[in-house]
Structure 1
Amino acid sequence: MSQGESDDAGRAEALFHLGYRYQMSGELDLAIQAYSESIELVPTAEAYTFRGWAYSFKGDLDRAIEDCRLAIEVDPEFGNPYNDIGAY
């Protein structure tokens, strides 16, 4: 991994955690923004899944399901998005 990739991965992880903090405090739009920025740097199944949860909390189930599908594309072994699609 190059230094630039390492920097991107670290920033993506920090943005993911920021998104989680926003989500837990009810700031869903800010959470979605932070997750989206994380995904732009390093797309992960976790970031797509958590962004999908934020969309679902806003009642936007179409976007939530789309993020679950994207999470599955990134990592078919990550089980949460399969469960979430069933719940939405």
Structure 2
Amino acid sequence: MRNDDENERGKLTAEQAVKMLKKENVDVTLGQAGLILEFLRKLANLTISNYLNQKDEKDSRSICQSKYGRTGGQGIFPKKSRRNARKVL
């Protein structure tokens, strides 16, 4: 019953893993296949958690900070000198 339940959720069973590995000429026992699947599931969960944490950190930057890493009044380009400007009356 448990194997049918896991198949419905899309999980790979140890029996299926043994068959897949046999096709690749890798002989493992049912217990070893179960351990391999358990390890791969943990690795997948860690990878997803790490990705989501990095995404949250990037999205939590300061509101005032621009994409160039500057804040507030600092511009991208230096201000132009007004020495050559003529006065208009």
Structure of larger gyration radius: 2
Common fold by TM > 0.5:
no
Query: Relative to total residues, which structure has the larger helix share, 1 or 2?
Result: 1
| TM-score of the superposed pair, with normalisation by structure 1 | 0.28
